[in-house]
């Protein structure tokens, strides 16, 4: 019996050792397969229904985005447990829009980034605030009270070399700070996107951010929190153009050599052009020089006033009694016009040197930027002894553009930069979409604002319906989330989508009611010259429009 007992004990020990070995092998196998399958995928072998985690759904979406056929092969042929299309649709339609960084959006961006090159993932951040209606609201979805808030901060990421854009941060009554900006840049880096530039306007909060980042006219970049590479700071060029126009018509400028730049020559020019039936300066009206209230926010008025056409007219006609003042004012406006064209280029096919993408006519563009830098840094607004904010913004942007171009040129193979990507046009158009979704109700409450953003991100926006916008979206950048859903063939069903009401807001009038006294012989002669030049201008416009349709006319 003792021998039998010892034999049984020995057999039990062998079985225990074998069981321990098998358990270790099973544990190692389970740990190994966990790198491939999640707990839910393993549990689905026993259960009929499980609740997929966000991480599992985002991985399944990545597979489907990269290859729809691969997704079906894994799921249907190899019986690889993946969320179904309905689960992906529900997840996409319920993206988390709570305040802060939009994590669900970043997951989608990370999936799309797998098919992009490094240069295509080169990113510019634009941030600004939009006014919302201050009201306490109950958020049923998250069971919380939201508000009252006055402003909504939005950060838009966009490609510098490719046509993509995506809102990635939303918060209320929150000024942009260094910590928030660094956190956004960090999360984008984790998603494989490299931020090389940031753009904002000259608002007080953004000036505070400049100080926090150590940005000055000499130091125009800060270090990336992960790579320690330079991230360059830009000021929105259309916003700067409006500020230049405002200071020009309000006070005027005094140059380093003592020359004045004032609006008097323009007033004389417009007084003379009103007597002519046809004029090359037909766009200029009293509204361009008065610019009261909301008109001060109109970029089109500023661009028409500070244009090549206006500068040419001042230099050619030299209106008013002070000819040197007209000459210097015309030359200044010409310089500002060239600067704005360089800082706001849209088309790679542009023929005018200043309108070409930055780098296409490099030496000319550098010469213009250097001339503007020297002029702006040495001039002063009349009755002011120091540089104003708009001057600092211009100097910072000029330095940043030149340094950014050289930095990226050493890293990537490219020919030019379309500088509108370094402005806020994409963000301004996004704000316009938010406003116009409600028709006349253009200041939504916080919850309605988030709902409108969700609809835009999901591709349920009909487009901008206003006509007199401050920006023109000529490049048709795509929202990344919408593109990803289309590529993955995921249709998103949303209920109770509010329809925007189309507004006929194109009420801007360019008519002039001013009259000028008759009798001055010089005025009569100049009026005849203006009419003659105006007819030439009109004839040239018609010839250009129809030269391809009727080439036999010469």
Instruction: Output the pLDDT for position 516.
Output: 37
The Cα-based distances of 504 to 66, 96, 466, 534 in angstroms read: 43, 34, 7, 31
Question: Strand 194-200 relative to strand 122-131: parallel, antiparallel, unpaired?
Answer: parallel
Residue pointed to by tokens 């399944």: 60
Give the pLDDT band (50/70/90) at residue 472.
very low
Alpha carbon distances (Å) from 124 to 62, 153, 285, 436: 24, 17, 37, 26
Q: What does the pLDDT look like over 111-121, one tens digit per residue?
A: 899 999 999 99
Residue 195: both structure tokens together: 């931020």
The number of beta carbons lying within 10 Å of the beta carbon of residue 74 is 17
Lowest model confidence (mean pLDDT) among 237-251, 275-289, 324-338: 275-289
Q: What percent of the chain has pLDDT over 70?
A: 82
Question: Is the Cα torsion angle 364, 472, 193, 74 positive or negative in sign?
Answer: negative
Question: What average pLDDT does this structure show over 224-228?
Answer: 97
> How would you class 337 by CB atoms within 10 Å of its CB: exposed for 0-12, middle for 13-18, buried for 19 or more?
buried
- H/E segment holding residue 124: strand 122-131
- C-beta separation of 439 from 503 below 8 A: yes
State the CATH architecture for 100-236+423-488.
Answer: 2-Layer Sandwich (3.30)
- Beta strand 122-131 with 151-159: parallel, antiparallel or unpaired? antiparallel
In angstroms, rounded to a whole number, what is the distance separating the alpha carbons of residues 100 and 90? 22
pLDDT for residue 512 = 33
What tens digit of pLDDT does each residue of 120-164 get?
999 999 999 999 988 888 777 767 787 789 999 999 999 999 999
What's the whole-model pTM score? Answer: 0.78
* pLDDT tens per residue across span 288-330: 888 888 888 899 999 999 999 999 999 998 998 999 999 999 9
Q: Predicted confidence band at 25 (pLDDT cuts at 50, 70, 90)?
A: confident
**Which two structure tokens, joined as six digits, stand for 374?**
């020297």
Residue whose C-alpha is closest to residue 168's, from 494, 483, 479, 487: 479
Better-scored residue on pLDDT, 409 or 76: 409
Query: Nearest-CA neighbor of 132 among 116, 148, 114?
Result: 148
Q: In this predicted structure, what is the pLDDT of residue 145?
A: 81
Q: Which two tokens stand for residue 435?
A: 């406003």
Q: Name the most confidently modeled range: 237-251, 464-478, 483-497, 539-553.
A: 237-251
DSSP 8-class letter at 2: H
Helix-strand-coil split of the chain, %, nearest 5: 50, 10, 40
% of the chain exceeding 90 in pLDDT? 48
Residue 503: pLDDT band with limits 50, 70, 90: very low
C-alpha span between 271 and 530 (Å, rounded): 12
- Whether residue 519 has pLDDT greater than 50: no
Q: Where are the beta strands (DSSP E) in 386-545?
A: 478-479
Closest of 196, 262, 265, 255 to residue 227, by C-alpha: 196
How far separated are the first and last CA of the chain, in Å rounded? 122
Place of tokens 């020009």: 248
Extents of the domains making up the chain:
21-93, 100-236+423-488, 238-412
Q: Which two tokens stand for residue 26?
A: 């099973």
């Amino acid at each position: 019996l003792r021998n039998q007992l010892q034999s049984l004990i020995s057999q039990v020990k062998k079985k225990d050792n074998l069981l321990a070995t098998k358990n270790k092998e099973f544990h190692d196998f389970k740990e190994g397969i966990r790198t491939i399958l999640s707990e839910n995928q393993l549990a689905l072998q026993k259960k009929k229904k499980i609740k997929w985690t966000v991480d599992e759904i985002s991985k399944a979406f990545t597979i489907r985005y990269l290859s729809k056929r691969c997704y079906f092969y894994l799921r249907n042929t190899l019986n690889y447990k993946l969320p179904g299309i309905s689960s992906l649709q529900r997840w996409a339609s319920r993206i988390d829009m709570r305040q802060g960084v939009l994590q669900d959006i970043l997951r989608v961006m990370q999936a799309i980034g797998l098919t992009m090159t490094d240069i295509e993932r080169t990113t510019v951040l634009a941030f600004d605030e939009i006014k919302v209606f201050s009201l306490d609201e109950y958020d049923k979805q998250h069971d919380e009270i939201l508000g009252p808030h006055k402003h909504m901060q939005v950060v838009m990421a966009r490609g510098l070399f490719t046509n993509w854009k995506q809102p990635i941060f939303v918060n209320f009554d929150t000024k942009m700070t260094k910590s928030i900006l660094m956190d956004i840049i960090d999360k984008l880096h984790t998603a494989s996107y490299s931020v090389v530039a940031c753009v904002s306007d000259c608002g007080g909060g953004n000036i505070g951010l400049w100080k926090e980042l150590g940005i000055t006219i000499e130091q125009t970049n800060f270090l990336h929190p992960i790579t320690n590479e330079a991230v360059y700071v830009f000021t929105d060029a259309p916003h700067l153009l409006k500020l230049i126009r405002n200071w020009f018509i309000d006070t005027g400028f005094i140059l380093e050599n003592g020359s004045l730049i004032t609006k008097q020559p323009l007033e004389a020019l417009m007084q003379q052009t009103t007597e002519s039936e046809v004029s090359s300066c037909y766009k200029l009206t009293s509204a361009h020089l008065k610019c009261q209230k909301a008109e001060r926010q109109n970029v089109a008025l500023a661009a028409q006033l500070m244009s090549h056409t206006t500068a040419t007219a001042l230099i050619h006609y030299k209106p008013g009694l002070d000819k040197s003042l007209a000459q210097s004012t015309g030359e200044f406006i010409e310089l500002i016009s060239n600067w704005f064209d360089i800082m706001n280029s849209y088309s790679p096919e542009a023929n005018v040197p200043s309108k070409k993408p930055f780098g296409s006519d490099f030496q000319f563009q550098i010469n213009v930027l250097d001339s503007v830098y020297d002029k702006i840094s040495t001039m002063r607004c009349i009755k002011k002894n120091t540089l104003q904010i708009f001057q600092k913004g211009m100097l910072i942007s000029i330095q940043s553009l030149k340094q950014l171009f050289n930095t990226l040129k050493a890293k990537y193979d490219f020919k030019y930069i379309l500088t509108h990507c370094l402005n806020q046009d994409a963000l301004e158009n996004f704000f316009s979409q938010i406003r116009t979704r409600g028709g006349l109700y253009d200041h939504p409450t916080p919850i309605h604002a988030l709902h409108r953003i969700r609809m835009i991100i999901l591709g349920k926006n009909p487009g901008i319906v206003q006509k007199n916008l401050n920006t023109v979206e000529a490049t048709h950048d795509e929202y990344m989330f919408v593109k990803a859903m289309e590529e993955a063939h995921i249709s998103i069903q949303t209920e109770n989508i509010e329809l925007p009401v189309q507004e006929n807001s194109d009420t801007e009038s360019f008519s002039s009611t001013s009259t000028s006294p008759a009798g001055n012989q010089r005025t009569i002669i100049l009026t005849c010259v203006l009419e003659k030049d105006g007819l030439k201008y009109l004839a040239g416009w018609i010839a250009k429009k129809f030269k391809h349709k009727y080439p036999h006319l010469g």
